[in-house]
Amino acid sequence: MTGIPTISVDAMGGDLGPLAVVEGIGQALKRWPDRKTKYLLHGHEDELKPLLDANPAVAAVCELRHAETQVQMTDKPSEAVRRARGSSMWNAIQCVKSGEADAIVSSGNTGALMAISKVILRMKKGVHRPAISANWPTPKGHTVVLDVGANVQCGATQLVEFAIMGEAFHRAVFGESKPTVGLLNVGQEELKGNDTVREADGLIRNSGLELDYRGFIEGNDISAGKIDVVVTDGFTGNIALKTAEGTARLVAGWVREALMSSFIAKLAAGLLSLGALDRLRQRMDPRYINGGVLLGLKGVVVKSHGGADGEGFASALGLGYAMAQSNFMPELRRMLDKFMDYGEQQKVAE
């Protein structure tokens, strides 16, 4: 890691573009005033410089790196890889490869970010494809869910790799010494689920991995916080994540409606706003847990939601900072090596 943690930022990605990025850095400075962080902003100077000039505090911690082009949200991953060289996304990732930055954060095209990151950073030995993690709020803290969109179809070996990466990620970011791990299934009984999930269950149990593995869990166990790391394929994980986000917005709307329904309710809301209501709002607001890490790469890549505003982008920056300060990479390498050794032993036995 470099001296002061340095985060490389694709400032042109996302629906709100550079404005959300600059506002996000400003929010990060307010949330974590004691953190010393340097930001490398990659994007078009004509758009970024006026925003930085209007925000001196943000400008003081940023270095502007001009990029003529950007990856569009509509670009297909294969097209983006061919045309992305010199773009804000490409250059931002390249800074992690060169060692200038400890992490890269982007709100841009997910497929393109995945593809370009694989080309520049390469995969860690023992990982077939990256997985996107999501931090799920629970009464006990946070549950890590992966994959939430990178891999629609997964084999049993991939699910085991996700379990290893998710466990190492939870320890790195949340400080849990021995996170519990579970496989998402349609039931907890051994015979439930498809062949892939049952095979992954057997691999985890027999591989000798140092995981606190609890077997199958169901969807309602995620928000309850019964398991620290929930492993599933990207198709199921993405649907679960989007459903949870929609439910959170629905309930938040109901709360606002109830608090504005009468004079007495508005008076109560005014009293609650002294602190309790703000804490409730933050716990229900997806922006405060925005950001997923592309796990399995030889570098830290954080994907922010494409529609994230400044508040949401600040959360993604905070996740990048936490990863930059952690020992995630060496811990992941140790566990992957152990699983690879088990695979080699199985081949010899056959």
Q: What is the DSSP string of 300-334?
A: -EEEPPTT--HHHHHHHHHHHHHHHHS-HHHHHHH
Identify the DSSP state of 33. T
Write out the two tokens for 296.
């399995």
Element (H, E) at 34: none
Q: What is the pTM of this model?
A: 0.83
What is the C-alpha to C-alpha distance for residues 5 and 7, in angstroms, rounded to an integer? 7
Fold (CATH) for 130-288: Isopropylmalate Dehydrogenase (3.40.718)
- Using left for φ > 0, alpha for ψ between -120 and 50, and beta otherwise, residue 178 falls in beta
Q: What is the pLDDT along the chain (350 residues), one digit of tens a residue?
A: 447 899 999 999 888 999 999 999 999 999 999 999 999 999 999 999 999 999 999 999 999 999 999 999 888 888 889 888 999 999 999 999 999 999 999 999 988 999 999 999 999 888 888 899 988 888 877 899 998 888 888 999 999 999 999 998 998 888 888 899 999 998 888 778 889 999 999 999 988 888 899 999 998 888 888 899 999 998 998 888 888 878 777 777 776 777 677 766 666 666 555 555 555 555 556 677 788 899 989 999 999 988 899 999 999 999 999 998 888 888 788 888 877 776 666 665 55
pLDDT score for 326: 85
pLDDT score for 1: 47
Which backbone phi and psi does 106 adopt, to 5 degrees? -145, 140
Identify the DSSP state of 7. E
Write out the two tokens for 115.
């593809």
What is the C-alpha to C-alpha distance for residues 244 and 283, in angstroms, rounded to an integer? 13
Q: What are the start-end ranges of the E strands in 147-211?
A: 180-184
CATH fourth-level superfamily of 1-127+296-326: Isopropylmalate Dehydrogenase (3.40.718.10)
pLDDT score for 313: 95
What is the C-alpha to C-alpha distance for residues 206 and 155, in angstroms, rounded to an integer? 17
Q: Where in the chain is the domain with CATH 3.40.718.10?
A: 1-127+296-326, 130-288
Element (H, E) at 97: helix 88-98
Q: Express each pLDDT in 183-230 by its tens digit.
A: 999 888 877 888 999 999 999 998 888 889 999 999 888 888 889 999
Return the exposure string of 307-339: e unless at least 16 CB atoms fall within 10 Å of the residue's CB, then b.
Answer: ebbbbbbbbbbbbbbbbbebebbebbeebbeeb
pLDDT score for 261: 72
